[in-house]
Structures are given as C-alpha cells and as structure tokens.
Structure 1
Amino acid sequence: MADHDPENTPQTQAVLDWHEGDMPYSPAFDDHFYCRSDGRLECGHVFLSGNGLPDRWQREDPFRIGELGFGTGLNLCETWRQWQATAPGGASLHFTSFERFPMARADIDRALSHWPEIARERMALTARWPDRPAGRVEIELEPRVRLTVVCGAALDSLAAEIQPFDAWYLDGFAPSRNPDMWSAELMAAVFGLTVPGGRFATYAAAGFVRRNLAAAGFAVERRPGFAGKREMLCGEKQAA
C-alpha cells in the first residue's frame, strides 16, 4: 500500500506483522492495512459510496476503477462482490491497482479470511495470484472482470498509463506516515488519468491532502467518515 521507501524495507514485497489475529500491520509505515473496526464495511462507505457506486456502473460501457495501494485486495474483493450483485448483464469491470510492495498469496489469504462475505472472491484472487508478483500483473477473475496490479512506485507507474479511469480509490497508508502517496504531483497525475465526470474517494481528510486534490483540479467534498471518523474526502473532475 505504499509509495514511500523507508530504510531497510525490501523493494519488492510487503513485510508484515499481525495484530489481533488476522489484522495485517506494516512496521515500516507504523499503520494497519485497513480500518480496525471493519475494513470491508469501510470500503463500502468510503470507496463505493464516495464514488457514487454502484449507480455509476449501471451502463454497458466498460467501467474502470484505479486504486492507489492494493494491499490485501480487500477493496477489489468487496467491489467485485457488489459488482456481481448489481451490474447490468454484459457490463465489464477493469480494476487497476498501483502497489509498491505486493503481498504474498498466503498473507492475502490470511487477511481476507476474516470476511466470509467475500470468500468466493478471496479464493478466486488467491488461486490466480502469482508466486512472485512483479511488473504488471494481469488476472482475468471471471468473464468481463479483469484485475491489473502494477508493481512499483506509484508516480512512475501512473506516468506510463494512458487510458483514464472512471473512479479512483485513494487508499495509501495514512498521510502522516506516508506523505509521498498523497503528494501534489501524485494527485495531479490521478486527475490527469480521470475521465471528465469521474470521481475519487478516500478515507483521508488531512488538510494538505484536500489542498493537493483541489489544486490538481478536483471539486472536493467533505463527508462524514466511517465508524465515527469525523471526515472523509470525495470529489469529481467536472466536465469542461
């Protein structure tokens, strides 16, 4: 989930501790991978609702989601679960995530096993996850549902992208612990890879994050955060 390069952190894999049984924690960034109350419900509240989903994917055209920080794959699995329940027949989903330190298959499986609601998605993801994820990982999860995980520094990876996204999940580690993942340069790159009318959502509400998103060109909105957190941010790239 990280773009910063802390000292002594391996360049190609996530290093984890485990808290409270199956809660993955990054000692390098001194942060958990998701909300400690319920990361799956947080995904729905922040990323799906903040992006106007599932309403916005009620269409035949392919829907493209970009994510900063793949982590455990929780956001993918919950999004895919809701997609299956609500998307119109013939629609397609392409979920692309940018991850500096991809997790091992066993760690993904352990973390996601906490939620029986996404057992099907977890098993499908881990069955297809490479032993040594690197470069550009392309996975067909099912017909018309595709996952791409781009391994490497987010800013460099986004610079190589061409096709813009309909929605963004901004889910790096906390801005106070990983400010590079919320920089003005990275938010500008996200804006440039957003379709007119496209949206972003994030659990983060730090003032510098809000200012960087607004400076990039997004119309930024504050909403109540998840599980008692005061605020989250979402917004739109308004059509010219």
Structure 2
Amino acid sequence: MANGQAEVDWRDGRVPISTRFDDPYFSLEDGLAETRHVFLQGNDLPARFRPGFTIAELGVGTGLNLLAARLLWRESGQTGRLHYVGFEAYPMAEADLRRALSAFPEVSDGADLVARALAQPGTTVEDGDMAATILIGDAARTLPGWSGRADAWFLDGFSPAKNPGLWTPDLLAGVARHTAPGGSAATYSAAGAVRRALAEAGFQVERRPGFGRKRHMTVARMPE
C-alpha cells in the first residue's frame, strides 16, 4: 500500500472527511462523545488505568482519541505516565489536524503534542504525563516491528467496507500478539468478520450498544 498525506474535505466546516476512503474521521453527531463511549468506556477506562498504562491505536486520524484518553487520565487523578503508540498510514496535515481539534476545546490544547509526534515518526514525544509515539506506514508492516504490548487497543481505522486493509485476520492476529494478558480492544465496528477475526486471534469478544445511531460496537478482552 502506498502511503502519503491524508486528503481531507470538510462537512459543515467542522467534520473532516477522508476523500481517499469517503469516511468521516469522527462522528458527525459528536466526535468526543463517540470516543468516550466506544474507546474509553469500551476498554473499561479509567478503572483499568495504572502508572505506565499503554494504549495502542490503529488509525491515529486527528489524534482525538489519544487526547481524550489523556484528559481522562488527568481527570481521574492518575499518577505516573500514560503511554500511547499509534499506527497511521496517511498522516493528516498539521493545519487540518488543528482545524479538526478546534471543534473540541476540552482537548484542543493537545494539538501540539499530536503534531510533534506526527512530525517525528517513530520518536517518543513526551508532554508531562503522556509519552506518545506514532509509526507512519502500512500497519501490516509497522506493527510487526513494534516490540511493545498494549493494555488497551483503539481499533479506529476507516470502516471495514472502505478500508479493509486495517481489518484483516492477519493484522488483528498481530494486534492480539501485541496485547498484554488481560488487555483489551474496542471498536465502533460490529462487522461479523471483525468479531470473528478477533475471536480467532484469541480475544473474548462481546457486542455492546453502539454510539448514536449505530446499534452495536465490539469489545474484546485477552485472557489473563
């Protein structure tokens, strides 16, 4: 898969749409509320937070999810540092990223952190209580080269129908191999093929109510 910068159009002047995948970067209704429902609650956070907790994400996009996690880390009174590793094939231009995050004043102050991490791929960028690393390129190639394991995964690629490369059984098996015992994964997708691939990779898979008009989503837990 050839990589390059994200190509973005705008819905109502505030919601970025990927022209390559014809899919929005976050919910047209409320992107931050969607993040909290799907990725934070879906991974049972903040209850599972501990110093050194590691989040990994397929599809960094605007960085909204990582910044929402950092906000929750702070609001829930955690100590130590939250670690984040993101995998992104088509990084968003800094101007687009800042424009997208400006819609969410609660987290928009973190745009500098996301921009710095995207500008220094593979380098860990520290900002107080967070350390963020973003790997640029096809996740099928970059994930196997990562030596870490995540306590929680945000599976946030564009929809399986429009971006099937981020939802293959091989890639989700790689996610499982890079998940700590007792670790978890969450995604807005309830596609049967995604749930089956996660189960075949060793996760215990559960369907939960989705966000907004989406009936269902998927959560998965790796046995201890």
Asked if these proteins are the same fold (TM beyond 0.5), I'd say: yes
Give the TM-score normalised by the residue count of structure 1. 0.89
CA distance in 1, matches of 2:113, 2:148: 26
Give the TM-score normalised by the residue count of structure 2. 0.95
1:76 aligns with 2:76: no
1:46, distance to aligned residue in structure 2 (A): 0.4
- Superposed, which structure 2 residues align to 1:115-130 within 5 Å? 115-126=104-115, 128=116
Give the conservation status (yes or no) of the 8 Å contact 1:54–1:87. no
Give CA deviations for 1:75-108 in whole Å, capped at 9, x if unaligned. Answer: 011111111111433x211111000011111111
Q: Which runs of 5+ in 1 are unaligned?
A: none
Residue 232 of structure 1 aligns with which residue? 217
Residue 85 of structure 1 aligns with which residue? 75
Give the conservation status (yes or no) of the 8 Å contact 1:170–1:202. yes
Residue 113 of structure 1 aligns with which residue? 102
- Superposed, which structure 2 residues align to 1:185-204 within 5 Å? 185-204=170-189
Aligned residues: 224
Question: Of 40, 49, 69, which aligns to 1:48?
Answer: 40
CA distance in 1, matches of 2:195, 2:93: 33
1:45, distance to aligned residue in structure 2 (A): 0.3
1:180, distance to aligned residue in structure 2 (A): 1.2
Question: Of 163, 171, 174, which aligns to 2:156?
Answer: 171
Cα root mean square deviation, aligned:
1.5
Q: Which SS does the other structure have where 1:185 is aligned?
A: helix
Residue 166 of structure 2 aligns with which residue? 181
Residue 210 of structure 1 aligns with which residue? 195
1:229, distance to aligned residue in structure 2 (A): 1.1
**Which residue type is aligned with residue 33 of structure 2?**
L
Q: Which SS does the other structure have where 2:21 is aligned?
A: coil
Q: Which SS does the other structure have where 1:196 is aligned?
A: strand
**Percent identity over paired residues:** 44
Give CA deviations for 1:5-43 in whole Å, capped at 9, x if unaligned. Answer: 4xxxx7221111111102111111111111111111101
Q: Which runs of 4+ in 1 moved over 3 A?
A: 123-126
Give the conservation status (yes or no) of the 8 Å contact 1:66–1:167. yes
Give the conservation status (yes or no) of the 8 Å contact 2:117–2:133. no
Query: Residues 86 and 35 of structure 1: is their aligned pair in 2 closer, same or farther, counting only changes over 3 Å?
Result: same
Question: Of 140, 144, 169, which aligns to 2:126?
Answer: 140
1:70, distance to aligned residue in structure 2 (A): 0.4
CA distance in 2, matches of 1:106, 1:129: 15
Residue 22 of structure 2 aligns with which residue? 30
CA distance in 2, matches of 1:136, 1:104: 17
Give the conservation status (yes or no) of the 8 Å contact 2:117–2:132. no
Query: Residues 124 and 148 of structure 1: is their aligned pair in 2 closer, same or farther, counting only changes over 3 Å?
Result: closer
**Which residue type is aligned with residue 118 of structure 1?**
V
1:137, distance to aligned residue in structure 2 (A): 3.9
Question: Of 72, 79, 90, which aligns to 1:101?
Answer: 90
Give CA deviations for 1:26-70 in whole Å, capped at 9, x if unaligned. Answer: 11111111111111110100000111100100x34x100000000
CA distance in 1, matches of 2:81, 2:8: 34
Q: Which SS does the other structure have where 2:13 is aligned?
A: coil
1:123, distance to aligned residue in structure 2 (A): 4.6
